[in-house]
Chains A and B, each alone.
Chain A
Amino acid sequence: DIQLTQSPSFLSASVGDRVTITCRASQAISSYLAWYQQKPGKAPKLLLYAASTLQSGVPSRFSGSGSGTEFTLTFTSLQPEDFATYYCQQLYISPYTFGQGTKLEIK
C-alpha cells in the first residue's frame, strides 16, 4: 500500500500568514492527490484534486502543487475559518490511503 506522510502534524499560525503543508508519498503517484479540510464534528470537505485543481466553490487562497512523491498545500493568507485539520489522499491506486493529517491552530 502507498503510505502518505504529512508534515508538520501540527502547525500554529496567525491570520494573514502564508502557510505550506507537505505530503510525501512512499512511491510515485503522478498527480493523483487530493486535499481535504475537516472541522471538528464535521465531515471532510474536498479542497483540491489532481494535486492542483481547485474544487468548485473553494477560495483561491488555497493552492496545491507537486507530482510524483512530493506535494504541497499552500494558504496565501490564512483566514479565521481556515483553522482546521487537513488531509491528503492518494488517488493513484486502491487502497486510496490518507495522510495522518495536519492540525492548523491559531497562534
Chain B
Amino acid sequence: EVQLLESGGVLVQPGGSLRLSCAASGFTFSSYAMNWVRQAPGKGLEWVSGISGSGGSTYYADSVKGRFTISRDNSKNTLYLQMNSLRGEDTAVYYCAKDHPSSYYDSRDFYHYCGVDVWGQGTTVTVSS
C-alpha cells in the first residue's frame, strides 16, 4: 500500500525554523516527483513546493521562495521541507503529496503534469508567540 507519513509539525515562534519530514512507503520513491501543499485554518489549498525524483529540480510558490527549501533523501525514502523565517501566515496543515504516475518529462523537458494522486494525512504547523 502506498503511504505518506508527515511529521515535524509543532508550535514555533515567528522568525523561527522548522523541518518537516515525509516518510514514503509502498512505491519506488526515487521515481516520482513530490510536493508540499498547505492549508491554513478554514482556508483553501496552496501548493508550496515541488521536487523532481532525482532532487535535481526544485520549485516554489512565491510566498515561500527564499525562506523554504525542499529536499529529499532517496536512500531513506524521505521528503523534507526546511522552513526558515516563519511567519504567522505560514500557520497551516502541511501535506506531502506524490505526483501522479502518468506525469512525465518530454524531449523538450516540458513536464506533462497530471497532479498528485497520493496525499499524506498532514502535519500541523502553528507560528505564534
Contact = CB atoms under 8 A, between A and B. Distances in A.
Secondary structure type dominating chain B contacts: strand
Interface residues of B, number: 24
Contacts of A100: 44
B47 interface: yes
A89 B47 contact: yes
Secondary structure type dominating chain A contacts: loop
Given A91-B115, A95-B60, A43 B121 contact: yes
B119 A43 contact: yes
B119 A94 contact: no
Interface string A69-80: 000000000000
A1 B62 contact: yes
Interface of B: 35, 37, 44-47, 50, 59-62, 95, 100, 102, 112-117, 119-122
Interface of A: 1, 32, 34, 36, 38, 43-46, 49-50, 53, 55, 87, 89, 91-92, 94-101
